Amino acid sequence: MDSHVFKRTEFFLIALLTFFSFLIPFTLRAIDDNRLTSWLWAFSSVNITWFSLIIISGIILAYILTRVSFPKLNPSVFLFLLSFISVMPFWKLPEVIVDASRYFTQAKHLEVYGIEYFLREWGRDINIWTDMPIIPFLYGLIFKFFGESRVYIQAFTTLLFSMTVVLTYKIGKTLWNETVGIYAGVLLLGIPYLFSQIPLMLVDVPAMFFLTLSIFAFIMALERGGAWIPFSSAALFMAFFSKYSTWLMLSVLFVIFIVYSIQHSSELEGNYIYRASIIASITGLLIGIFFLYKFEVFSEQIRLLIAYQKPGLKRWEESFISTFFFQMHPFIAASAIYSAYAAFKRRDIKYAIISYLIILIILLQIKRIRYIIMVFPMLTLMASYGLQEIRDKDVRRFIASCIVICSLAIGMFAYLPFLQKTSAMNLKYAGEFLDSIDRENIEVFTIPQRENLVNHAVSVPIIDLFTKKKIIYYYDTGFLPPPEDLERSPLRFTWEYRNPEYYTAKNKDSKRALLVITDDLEQRLPAHIEQKIEGYGKSKVFKTWEGVFSYKTSVAVYYN
């Protein structure tokens, strides 16, 4: 067969597989048990004919991109710009996960009271649940030096994601070659679930960055020594205190050390032992100092993790089918699986570095996607490694382009519209509306849900995130009875909310607007709230609801 005909046949088969890699999950979407962006929900109002045309158009665009020559750019610059620009449309998302209220509250304490107060009161006056301090600390610095605006947080988390893409490229290039690195970085854009997480004020994407930075810095420290040694220790310190689940993932550094020791001569092995020992000593000293300083806090958190979080994983888990078949492009999982055969065939011991964390997750059955986001760079390195078995660079480029374009289409035209219909948008809309009215002080009232799933008090910090106005809120636990199964509830932290002092009114006689957060605006308001809103002639109501999640936040604003 003529080589051109064979190549065209390859392109056609890949295009066909790309289309079916969307159509098959769409047909089987009822088995996607993701808790946020299940295809069953995200595609519930999507016209399949219209979306199929988008996928076909994306495949055609991918083919065109494969055939067009572009000016050669520095790979790091190209990957950074591509990833940053790709995420920006998702900045329109609301804060769809209530955990954001904790991180905002912790960060605002630093903004209002300063760095020294944050370090002293973290875990004491600052309620921290099972959170680690580094990322709320960084968010607080952004608020303090740039201003309390969500767009700065979104720019920061997107920056960290884009730097993760670049670091993934650097790891692939260092371990193998530039091609493996570039494709691994690009394939991170083939995971549409990430687009729903990057713009949020959470810790998962920053933790992914710090873990990836730790891996790259440790590799460079072993290879080159010098300034990379203290830099590696600093990166490890940041990763260690970014999220508890990074502790387990940092065990990959031991695998890296073993691989480098086996692969090189005995003389270099001595260098690796010396450098690794220095890194371990510096890191251990830094971690030990802070750990001892907050020993009681960490001890209580670890107790809570063992007694509550660990048993809860089984109740909150999502299937691997959801994570690897629906929430990322199936080509990534398929290529990652094939990469194991390719590495075995080559007897490539370095492959253990990128496969270790994925194997660990599967063996330990860690099935909550938010807990394994941080290992996605290793997964895309595996997928890129598998793609290298395809010798024709145009075919590889076409496959990667199909993955990214289809994933962006799913994110833009399914996930984004669905999440913008959630009741979390009401908090965003209300915050933006408050900025448009002539009132500087906003007094907030929360009415408990009839099913008592979530304490509405945690919505107050999220409203605060979306408005520049002064929020006033008096939290009264007397009319907020917690659910009976509080000890097992995945949202237990919302009932342990403590009202920050900065929500106390300084001038009780000042004119203000009133804001009510409830799950049902049709229900009768409590008498003390009705008495408050008497005389307020205008109101604005926000009651968007997607009809899926039981937790609803409807908002009414009263002003005159």
CB 257 within 8 A of CB 222: yes
Q: Tally the domains of the chain.
A: 2
CB 516 within 8 A of CB 529: yes
Residue-range definition of the domain harbouring residue 554: 424-559
**DSSP annotation of 474:** -
Same domain, 83 and 221: yes
Same domain, 80 and 15: yes
**Average confidence (pLDDT) per 10 residues, the chain, 560 residues:** 72 95 96 96 95 96 87 91 97 96 97 96 92 97 96 98 98 97 98 98 98 98 95 98 96 96 76 94 96 94 84 78 97 97 95 97 93 97 96 93 97 97 96 93 87 83 96 72 66 84 78 90 85 85 90 91
* 554-559: strand order across its sheet: 470-473, 441-446, 512-518, 554-559, 538-542
Same domain, 352 and 371: yes
Last residue of a domain, one of 368, 386, 419: 419
Which one-letter amino acid corresponds to residue 292?
Answer: L
Same domain, 130 and 28: yes
Same domain, 258 and 235: yes
Alpha helices in 322-466 (DSSP H): 330-346, 351-364, 369-372, 376-387, 393-410, 416-419, 424-434, 459-465
Statement: the pTM of the whole predicted model exceeds 0.75: yes
Chain centroid to CA 380: 16
Phi, psi of 441 (to 5 degrees): -110, 135
- Longest Cα separation, the chain: 86
CA proximity to 37, closest of 428, 373, 365, 357: 373
38: left (phi over 0), alpha (psi -120 to 50) or beta: beta
Phi, psi of 407 (to 5 degrees): -65, -40
Same domain, 380 and 507: no
CA proximity to 130, closest of 309, 253, 256, 8: 309
Q: CA–CA separation, 559 vs 81, rounded Å?
A: 44
Last residue of a domain, one of 404, 419, 434: 419
Q: CA–CA separation, 463 vs 432, rounded Å?
A: 9
Same domain, 404 and 540: no
Same domain, 351 and 244: yes
Same domain, 467 and 323: no
* Strand 441-446 with 554-559, pairing: unpaired
Same domain, 47 and 175: yes
Same domain, 21 and 75: yes
**DSSP annotation of 294:** T
User: Is the C-alpha dihedral spanning 167, 172, 174, 179 positive or negative?
Assistant: negative
Compute CA distances 229 → 23, 251, 353, 477, whole Å.
49, 18, 19, 50
Same domain, 527 and 387: no
Helix axes 134-146, 150-175, angle to 10 degrees: 130
Last residue of a domain, one of 419, 439, 465: 419
